Amino acid sequence: MEKTTDISRLKEIARQIRIDILESTFAAGSGHPGGSMSAVEVIVALYWSEMNHRPDEPHWPDRDRFVLSKGHACPVLYAALARAGYFAVKELKNLRKLGSFLQGHTDMLKTPGVDFSAGSLGMGLSFANGVALAARLDKKDYRTYVMLGDGEVQEGQIWEAAMTAPHRKLDNVCAILDYNKLQIDGFNKDIKGLEPIDEKWAAFGWHVIRIDGHDFEAIFKALDSARTTKGKPTIIIADTLKGKGVSFMENQAGFHGRCLKPDEMEKAREELKEVLK
């Protein structure tokens, strides 16, 4: 598949994936576009540059793994997998439909390229640690990337796993926190605040990098730093905007779990005609 670090090309892929997210959830009549839009640049950077993977061989044993722990954001993953060539782009319109291999939350048994069945929050970091332990036992150098939601880190199991990875010196694990500051019922800070989030992860023994999660250059720099950091796992805390890319969706909790209405879809298509600045 196409691999690139050309920023203008990556921005064009991101633009296309944002449209795919909105069109697929619009066709489904439901889904989680907000937290999908916030994760676009990180996922594009992973699939088009950072990760070793083979769309024509989804179960290639030496592939880098991507664990989408915030499984409700699967529209962005499905769009990325389709655009990367794991399956036909036209399948995206079957999202959430009966019999579709694109389930409402990820299903590793059904979707080519999906490495983790998510939907219930809090389990992905533990799973990623398990994969990383297996890689170490087998003396393989594939890496495991795991994307966490910000509301998700309110789950206690995240902190169990956050203790495990540094204890085992899992430098082949890279977590990315999609920190868009919003969860279903509102802002994290009003529900159960996460701050100081950098210090929490650092205190648990992680190499912490904080970036603008929509800036490709910053993402690549962070991934380079993660890959070259030895003896401890890395977490990239990516400051992002929920609903990024469509003006009326940005920073709105309401678009966590609802798709666009027809008139909103029209406006969004118009806004997404050009790549983001």
Partner 1 sequence: MPETAATRDAYGKTLERMGERYPEIVALDADLSESTRTIWFAKKFPERFFQMGIAEQDMIATAAGLASAGKVPFASSFAIFASRAWEQVRNLLCRAEINVNLCLTHTGISVGEDGASAQALEDIAAFRVLPNMRIIVPADDIETVGVIEFLAADRNGPTYVRLGRSKTPRIHAQDYKFVFGKASVPREGKDIAIIACGVMVGKAMEATEILAAEGIEARVINMSTIKPIDADTIIAASKEIGKIVTAEEHSIIGGLGGAVAEVLAENAPCSMKRVGTRDTFGESGTPDELLEKYGLQPHHIAAAAKSLL
Q: Does 107 bind partner 1 (CB under 8 A)?
A: yes
130 or 205: CB nearest partner 1: 130
Mark the segment that binds partner 1 (CB under 8 A) among 26-34, 158-166, 234-242, 245-253: 158-166
Distance between CA 180 and CA 174 in Å, rounded?
19
Residue 157 Cβ vs partner 1, minimum distance, rounded to whole Å: 4
Long-range contacts: 117-122, Cβ < 8 Å, 24+?
Answer: 117/71, 118/67, 118/68, 118/69, 118/70, 118/71, 118/72, 118/74, 119/71, 119/72, 120/71, 121/69, 121/70, 121/71, 121/149, 121/151, 121/152, 121/155, 122/69, 122/152, 122/155, 122/156, 122/157, 122/158
36 or 117: CB nearest partner 1: 117
Indicate the SS3 state at residue 178: strand
Q: Does 111 bind partner 1 (CB under 8 A)?
A: no
Mark the segment that binds partner 1 (CB under 8 A) among 22-30, 105-113, 201-209, 235-243: 105-113
Q: Does 92 bind partner 1 (CB under 8 A)?
A: no
Distance between CA 215 and CA 238 in Å, rounded?
10
Distance between CA 103 and CA 205 in Å, rounded?
35
Tell which residue, 242, 226, 247, 276, has the closest CA to residue 7: 276
Q: Does 24 bind partner 1 (CB under 8 A)?
A: no
Contact mark string toward partner 1, 130..149, x via CB under 8 A: xxxxxx-xx-----------
Angle at 243 between CA 238 and CA 245, to 5 degrees: 90
Q: Does 154 bind partner 1 (CB under 8 A)?
A: no
160 or 270: CB nearest partner 1: 160
Give the one residue of 157, 229, 251, 252 binding partner 1; rule: CB under 8 A: 157
Q: Which of residues 236-275 bind partner 1 (CB under 8 A)?
A: none
33 or 113: CB nearest partner 1: 113
Which residues would be at the binding site for partner 1 (CB under 8 A)? Answer: 61, 107-109, 115-117, 119-120, 122-123, 126-135, 137-138, 156-157, 160-161, 163-164, 168
